[in-house]
A and B are shown apart, each in its own frame.
Chain A
Amino acid sequence: MNNPKLLSLNSTTSLISRFTRGFIQALIRINKQRPVTSSSPREMYIRHRRIKSAADKSMALAVRSRRNWSRAVLARFRKKRRRHVLVRRITTCAMKKRGLENKKSGHKEASHGQANELRRLVPGGEAMDLCSLLEETAHYLKCLNTQVQVMRCVADSYSTI
């Protein structure tokens, strides 16, 4: 990773290197398991999904469980099925209550819809109050940016072989 843009972000350098290491190790594992017919559309699709999962999981692992959103991602990977049902039950309940609360205080009616949209996009966002949702979103955005930059670097270094 000799991209100067990446290295200039000193505070996030360790996060970047943790993510890069984790992601490349995952890619190596995925690559080891490739069958002989690795370019059939089906194989390509399965690998595409696995790489996407690896990218998300590596990012959450790099952040560790210091953030709500990374905890949500890791929990999702741990209990994919059970969690799905549980989250839906909790969030519909939480969202109904939040709706009432917001109407009572008359708080930012205009951005209410957008906040709910954001809740669906940020992992674990459904269960957050507005303040932590905004904080988590800022952190999540930075991490997504890092993810994209690193993945692009890996893909580019591949293409130039």
Chain B
Amino acid sequence: MSSRRSRSRQSGGSRITEDQINDLVTRLQQLLPELRNRRSDKVSSAKVLQETCNYIRSLHREVEDLSERLSELLATTDTAQAALIRGLLMQ
């Protein structure tokens, strides 16, 4: 089953044009703080992909750190439950 699925993807994949890829890479570039303000023709797509990987990794790290921080906060705050419920009502 898996081989049939990959085959259909492969044939779909060959129809992708260079322009489509470039558009998507440019869109991706707009999301990167490091490269957002640079002209898209000045940055290679390899560079954009590399920066994207770095950015995703840094965001993953931040989620890890924040989870750890929240875990500590839950341990120290007795009123945590009340605060959480308040947060829920506020939004």
Pairing of A with B: yes
User: Chain A residues in contact with chain B, CB under 8 A?
Assistant: 1-2, 17, 20-21, 24-25, 27-28, 30-32, 34, 38-39, 43-45, 47-49, 51-52, 55-56, 89-90, 93-94, 97-98, 101, 105, 107-108, 110-111, 114-115, 117-118, 121-122, 127, 129-131, 134-135, 137-138, 140-142, 144-145, 147-148, 151-152, 154-155, 157-159, 161
Could you tell me which residues of chain B, from 37 to 90, have a CB within 8 Å of some CB in chain A?
44-46, 49-50, 52-53, 55-57, 59-60, 62-64, 66-77, 79-81, 83-85, 87-88, 90
Chain B contacts to A: CB under 8 angstroms: 2-3, 6, 9-10, 12-14, 16, 18, 20-21, 24-25, 27-28, 31, 44-46, 49-50, 52-53, 55-57, 59-60, 62-64, 66-77, 79-81, 83-85, 87-88, 90-91
* Between-chain CB contacts (< 8 Å), 10 pairs: A31-B81, A32-B81, A48-B68, A114-B46, A121-B57, A130-B13, A134-B27, A138-B31, A154-B70, A155-B70
The distance in angstroms between the C-alpha atoms of A65 and B52, with both chains bound, is: 23
Q: Are B53 and A111 in contact (CB under 8 A)?
A: no
